[in-house]
Chains A and B, each alone.
Chain A
Amino acid sequence: MPTEELMAQETVAPWMAAPPVYDNESNLPDWYQKFREESWKRFVNTADPKRTDENWRFADLKKSKFSELLPAAQVEDEAALIDRSEKSRLTDCAAHYVFANNRLIDSDANGLPEGAICLPFGEAIEKHGDLVREHFMKEDRSLGGDKFAALHGSAALSGLFVYFPKGVVCEKPIQVHHYVGGNQQVIFPHTLVVAEDNAQVSVIDMFETIAEEEQTLVIGVVDLVAKNGANLQYVALQDESDHGARHVQINSTRAGRDARTKSAFINLGASWIRNESINRMLEEGADCQIFSANLANGVQEYDQRTLQTHEAQHTTSDLLFKNALYDEARTIFSGLIQVQPGAHHTDSFQTCRNMLGSDKAEANAMPGLEIDADQVKCSHGSTSGQISDEEIFYLQARGIPAEQARQMISLGFLNESISRLGGEELKEFLFRRVEKKFANLL
């Protein structure tokens, strides 16, 4: 075989032999079947990320390579996982769902407001096909993860569809657990949240591995749609095993007139993660806030790419990403603010801050701006630094031991972005999870 042909074959080699097949395939509508087939073709024909691709700059490409992935098989001890999920359940949530290896194993939707629709994704496609179709994976922009998105599109059948009709308001979050387990096994959770005019909804996805030391993969896509005057919050808490788990998540947010969205990535676990976040402010008054708090240690690599696109006048957005790095951890932040022609009177901010807890840790930041409008207020910036000796001295002078002082300062540093979210219990919950990882670091 000529070398050139061999190479071409290698770059488009699929990571899976065939798209996953589900038990209830016969119930799926034609449009969805067709979408899956097209997605599979796109996946097969899309090359692996390359070093020369700006969207993969600084990334360790070895970590984004896959082979012999298997659709996750049903887990044996579902009862144990249900018990485990109960232990990290928010006391005040509107609904609670537990998925294990792509299957729904437990749910409690008693606290949902009247009119709200909240269904596992597969069921939603059957029962509310038109609604799903209108919003499902409509984003055609990519920050580099197209191959992952295509594979997801060929396989998504777990996760939650959340639809809040006009004026339906619920401040309590909907909590979704996603467990993945088994070597080389992959799950494809999809979260689709639609808040119609003046609706208010909050969703938290939690990703965990069933066991340590397994080579698992999550390829998740999240579609967030906030219509006029809607208020939508979404949080992804990723706390998978740091030994072999890898995690890809692509968020896409669309905000209509006067809509408010907040979305956040909290990363504590996994050996490698790739987060992409596309935020589009489509009409006047739209406001998107994007947060991240990441605690990376060992040889963890957290790779995050973001886009804030202002497509109408008088839109605002604010991004605050915070990384605390220890040992030989690496982070990559690449963010672009785009103010499109005519999107005058826009305010857009982007900040990435890194706190380096070790000489060998590496934080990369690539902030960017593209402005094609007038009367625009934009700022972007990134900083990297260590905890100052003076701050430690101040806490120590109150009797707090130096190590604990370091931990408190770092935790406070990450908490600055968590504290910008809504919901007291939710914030406290996230803070405690970060604190727990810190306690294990010492």
Chain B
Amino acid sequence: MSDSLKIENLHASVEGNEILKGLTLEIPKGEVHAIMGPNGSGKSTLSKVLAGNEEYDVSEGTVKMDGVDLLDLEVDERSREGFFLAFQYPHEIPGVSNANFLRAALQARLPKGEEIDAVAFYKTMYEKMDALQMDRKFTGRSVNDGFSGGEKKRNEILQMMMLEPKYAVLDETDSGLDIDALKIVAEGVNRMRGPERGFLVITHYQRLLDYIVPDVVHVMVDGQIVKSGGKELAHELEEKGYDWVTEELAVA
């Protein structure tokens, strides 16, 4: 059995509307895949279903993460098992400091009775924050509370760097970022690329993929992957627009 995040024939709906209509996709460990698609194609739904958001009903299909049935696990279990979602709209948690939040997340991964080494924790966190050019004052500030769009996205990447997942899904991490912030975020992701990790980068624009160069690009339309190809597919899409794919589909 090869290590991968393997999604097969996934059907999911919200309030009776089917959004994912038999989606199949496999991300082998060590690769970066991108999903592009027009608004409303179900990209964000896919990310939320993978994370375990209860607003969505999964009626059919399987998701295996290195052989483990992801859909059988609670939201927090998926995270501890090595799944990570960088949110498109990260939530604000007033009164809970960023440091305490990260610490609790790491603590939850330790066996009962074992305590996090606070000194090592802060050292690691500061290193990662420096890499993301985040001011250290963010450790004491409430999670995402009063953060700008760019600061929130950087905070997502910081969490990913701290939690070191096996598979990470980045949901429109580029939205709301200026070019400098985009480069910093991409650099953070690139540093984590390696044979022990898989990525799924969800984006509407090709711009992000200039900085996080994918191994495979998938096009999603109406709840399904309709086309897959190399990184050049992203450029083709940018040039010709999503209509090109839909027209091509209609012809086929």
Contacts and interface: CB of A to CB of B under 8 A. Distances in A.
Interface of A: 389-391, 393-402, 404-405, 408-409, 411-416, 419
Contact of A408 (B54, B79, B104): B104
Interface in B135-168: 142, 159, 163
9 contacts: A391-B93, A393-B75, A396-B75, A397-B51, A397-B85, A398-B101, A400-B104, A402-B74, A408-B96
A394 B93 CA distance: 9
A419 B91 contact: no
B95 A396 contact: no
Contact of A398 (B54, B74, B94, B159): B159
B142 A412 contact: yes
Contacts of B7: none
Nearest to A399: B79
A404 B74 contact: no
B105 interface: yes
B167 to A, nearest CB: 13
Contact of A402 (B76, B87, B96, B163): B76
Contacts of B96: 408-409, 411-412, 415
Interface string B98-135: 00110011001100000000000000000000000000
B116 to A, nearest CB: 13
B88 to A, nearest CB: 12
A393 B105 CA distance: 13
Contacts of B53: 393
A412 B94 CA distance: 6
B163 A419 contact: no
A391 B54 CA distance: 13
A416 B105 contact: no
B91 A391 contact: yes
A400 B108 contact: yes
B90 interface: yes
Contacts of A412: 93-96, 142
Contacts of B108: 398-401, 404
Most buried by B among A396, A398, A411: A398
Q: Is the interface of A mostly helix, strand, loop or mixed?
A: helix
Most buried by A among B52, B94, B159: B94
A441 to B, nearest CB: 17
Nearest to A397: B51
B97 to A, nearest CB: 8
A395 B74 contact: no
A297 to B, nearest CB: 19
B95 A416 contact: yes
A387 to B, nearest CB: 10
Given A411-B95, A412-B93, A396 B76 contact: yes
Nearest to B81: A399
A419 B90 contact: no
Given A394-B90, A404-B108, A399 B80 contact: yes
Nearest to A416: B95
A395 B94 contact: no
Most buried by A among B79, B96, B100: B96
B175 to A, nearest CB: 17
Contacts of A404: 104, 108
B158 to A, nearest CB: 11
Nearest to B82: A399
Contacts of A390: 91
B79 A415 contact: no
A401 B96 CA distance: 16
Contacts of A419: 95
A409 B104 contact: no
A413 B75 contact: no
Most buried by A among B80, B100, B104: B104
Contact of B109 (A395, A399, A408, A416): A399
A395 B76 CA distance: 8
Contacts of A402: 74-76
A408 B93 contact: yes
B101 A395 contact: yes
Given A400-B104, A408-B96, A394 B79 contact: no
Contacts of B159: 398
A87 B90 CA distance: 40
Interface in B25-52: 51-52
B49 to A, nearest CB: 12
A394 B152 CA distance: 13
Given A396-B79, A398-B105, 13 more contacts: A391-B91, A391-B93, A393-B91, A394-B90, A394-B93, A395-B105, A396-B76, A399-B109, A400-B105, A402-B75, A404-B108, A411-B96, A416-B94
Nearest to B160: A398
Contacts of B74: 396, 401-402
Contacts of A389: 54
Nearest to B100: A408
Contacts of A399: 76, 79-80, 105, 108-109, 163
Given A401-B76, A402-B74, A394 B91 contact: yes
